[in-house]
Amino acid sequence: MCSLPNSVEAVVFDCDGLLVDTEACWTVAETAIFAAHGHPFGPEQKALVIGRTVEAAGEAMAHYFGHPGAGAELAADLLERVRKELSGGAEALPGAAELVRACRAAVPIAVASNSPRELLDAALRSAGLADHFAHSFAADEVRSPKPAPELYLTACQALGVSPRCSVAFEDSATGIAAARAAGLHVGVVPSLPGTALDHDWLGTSLAEPALQEWARNLGHGHTVC
């Protein structure tokens, strides 16, 4: 059984690590940068950067490396490395296409991503999901990206819906904080297994039968507003 409300006005999806298997691209890039500075890269280090904007990840790495002021340079390096990795393509994660199609058949949908526009578009195109979304919002198009609520508030405003009547799907603490601050219900599939994350629904995959059934039944329950 899915604990998300059955009647909502809209669904807003994160992209990286939630809809599209791009975290592998980011991890390759991050591992290389950490190695270049003499550091290993594992779950602890990944937790420092996952879900952050490129700029925020650069600052986090600069702090970790003990190189204050190097954030912009590290961010530029990260962006170039991820761009190169993503050029090889990335697949939709299990259940993503089916969930998006089912939600779209019932309510307006959008993407709210902490990636810059060029990487967001590349990821959605590569995974074959771009045509499903008439609305998408990237980190470099708002003043305050995640964990601030602006991306989710912007998406809901564009869709003409109330955030408290909408559901966000996320994979990281940064994105969850943004969705919660905006007032949305939150479904979570963690990119880092074993992490304790705030959620209304928690699963291991978007392909979970209960979640897919929830999406097919959207609009048939009592309103949450």
Which residue is catalytic, options 16, 21, 77, 171?
A: 16
Active site residue 171: no
Task: Identify the CA nearest to 107 among candidates 225, 3, 7.
Answer: 7
- CA pair distance 170, 111, nearest whole angstrom: 11
Question: Which H/E stretch holds residue 171?
Answer: none
Largest CA distance in the chain: 55
The C-alpha atoms of residue 10 and residue 30 are separated, in whole angstroms, by 34
Please answer whether residues 180 and 198 qualify as being in contact, where contact means their C-beta atoms are separated by less than 8 angstroms. yes
Positive or negative CA dihedral for 153, 157, 159, 165?
positive
Is 21 labeled as catalytic in the residue annotation?
no
Task: Find all residues with CB under 8 Å of 136, minimum gap 6, and list them.
Answer: 110, 111, 112, 113, 120, 121, 124
Compute the radius of gyration of the chain from its Cα atoms.
Answer: 17
Residue 95 to residues 43, 166, 194, 207, 209, Cα–Cα distance (Å): 25, 20, 21, 4, 9
Catalytic residue of the set 14, 21, 77, 171: 14
Which residues belong to the active site? 14, 16
